[in-house]
Chain A
């Protein structure tokens, strides 16, 4: 009996040891990135822990306007925030109203729509890159915010999640709200959304994160440094002017990573639950 307990304890200890060891590998690149962004150039490659801290890289990033304008990097953070926020609000709003109609209202053609949404999710984005770019050309939306966010304003994935979740909300609540004279839009935003907090947050966070990280589409539709989101500006400068400045590169990478990491720490529980629940967002 004692022996069994002992062997259980030791196997538990080994489990934690493995998990802890693995975690070091997972976290190490972040720690290194953060440290490197404050290191003097000579120490970036050679030392893990710096002997002296410098804010030089961040200063360069924020003050050096190499393209005529004052500092495209400050502007690019703003651009990223604008584009990501608009897309996020739109995806949640239209996801919720469409999901509500598909889950709770009756109208001819509903099944067809439901199937079409599932069908849409099968198509890889690469099929749409070129024609959407041509559409942006036609609309004159190259180098504009709407050019960046318009292909991401309604997501089949979000509609699907909302539809699934809205099906589980009791009908009595909807009926009661209708008796009180609520319009259907009010039902969605006063009853359905507040009762679906976790799904709403999952949709919002994943959309925001996807938009913040997006690279290829922004690369295609932005040519002007002043309008580029941070991901593209940093990508182009890393390949170009800053290619031999690892300190500036890591400072930029830190700026690109930290906002999403903060979001992640705030909502980490919903994040892990969301992935377990859906396993759908690729």
Chain B
């Protein structure tokens, strides 16, 4: 008894020590590359500083005031909202549709699932190149459309450029979201549908009364992914439109990039990033509050 107790104590000591040893790299790394930059970012957001000069003047919240008076901030915000309005409904309807179709089949299900997922692994730069060529003024799509007497200025019209970008992002993420929906669908017990069938519920009623409510976790996570993606979008507009035409595809991250690395206003860029983070937090929080539900089968 005594011996085993002693052994226990010794064991706990050893493993406690080893535990710290094993998490130490993570802690040290996180302090250097996460905590320290985080605090530094906060500090310089209150300073006027162009990276090159050693002078860092404390200017209080002026940077933040400048952000909310920056017309390009509001233009970017509007563009991102427009992106979301196009992107979110289309991607959710399409990926839920694909997931519902995939659930119905057994034969070749894995084949179709990985086929739809293929687009997800495309690199941002690569698929931006491909779509900017496919959708260009004299590109393949417009060539084909011109047979019907129409051409669409996908990326060259300020009215629809951001919507076109949203559509190509749908292409990339459709398969990915479908699989999240499919996993959600497969976790719904089939007994629910069977008893609904016995009660004479139509497919339509079953969809709205069983499928949609029980898919809530999938809806929530996909909405959060989609909103985060919208706020962070950079590569596609940078590659395809460069923010144009007429600033119609400027985004927050493009502004932060431009302010910091072209104009060298590091302090202003930092405040901009903080404002953007706060806005995206607010959106995610709002989704959690309004969409997320506790579900039980």
Contact = CB atoms under 8 A, between A and B. Distances in A.
A130 B269 contact: yes
Interface string A124-154: 1111111111110100000000000011011
B123 A260 contact: yes
A98 B121 CA distance: 28
Contacts of B174: 26
B257 A29 contact: no
Interface stretch (B27-35, B67-75, B152-160): B27-35
Interface residues of B, number: 94
B140 A128 contact: no
A237 B25 CA distance: 38
Contacts of A19: 98, 101-102, 105, 112
A102 B125 contact: no
A101 B19 contact: yes
B37 to A, nearest CB: 4
B239 interface: yes
- Interface SS majority for chain A: helix
B130 A105 contact: no
Contacts of A185: 22
Contact of B171 (A26, A235, A249, A272): A26
Output the residue of B18, B221, B232, B269 with the most chain A CB within 10 A.
Answer: B18
Nearest to A264: B121
A126 B98 contact: no
A279 interface: yes
B112 A130 contact: no
Given A213-B123, A271-B114, A282 B253 contact: no
Scoring B12, B26, B34, B171 by chain A CB atoms within 10 A of each residue's CB, the highest score goes to: B26
Interface in A3-35: 11-12, 15-16, 18-19, 22-23, 25-27, 29-30, 32-33
Contacts of A216: 234-235, 253, 257
A108 B256 CA distance: 40
Interface string B228-260: 110110110011001000000000110011001
Given A30-B118, A256-B123, A108 B16 contact: yes
Contacts of A261: 118, 121
A246 interface: yes
Interface string B101-135: 11011001010111111110111111101110110
B50 interface: no
B134 A16 contact: no
A129 B256 contact: yes
A266 to B, nearest CB: 11
A215 B116 contact: no
Contacts, number: 266
Given A106-B19, A220-B261, A279 B130 contact: no
A135 B37 contact: yes
Interface string B3-38: 000000000100111111111011101101110111
A33 B30 contact: no
A42 to B, nearest CB: 12
Interface stretch (B83-91, B176-184, B192-200): B176-184
Interface stretch (B57-65, B207-215, B274-282, B289-297): B274-282
B143 interface: yes
Contact of A249 (B41, B133, B180): B133
Contacts of A120: 30, 34
Interface stretch (A44-52, A53-61, A65-73, A195-203): A44-52
Contacts of A135: 32-33, 36-37, 40
Contacts of B15: 105-107, 184
Given A97-B22, A107-B15, A268 B239 contact: no
Contacts of A276: 179-180, 182-183, 186
B164 to A, nearest CB: 14
A275 interface: yes
Contact of B253 (A12, A126, A154): A126
B129 A150 contact: no
6 contacts: A25-B171, A33-B129, A98-B23, A105-B16, A129-B273, A254-B126
Given A113-B27, A282-B229, 15 more contacts: A15-B104, A29-B122, A45-B138, A97-B22, A101-B18, A105-B16, A128-B37, A130-B44, A131-B38, A213-B123, A215-B238, A220-B257, A235-B239, A271-B114, A279-B221
The 10 residue pairs across chains A and B that have the minimum distance between CB atoms? A131-B37, A107-B19, A276-B183, A101-B22, A105-B19, A253-B126, A131-B41, A268-B114, A213-B123, A131-B40
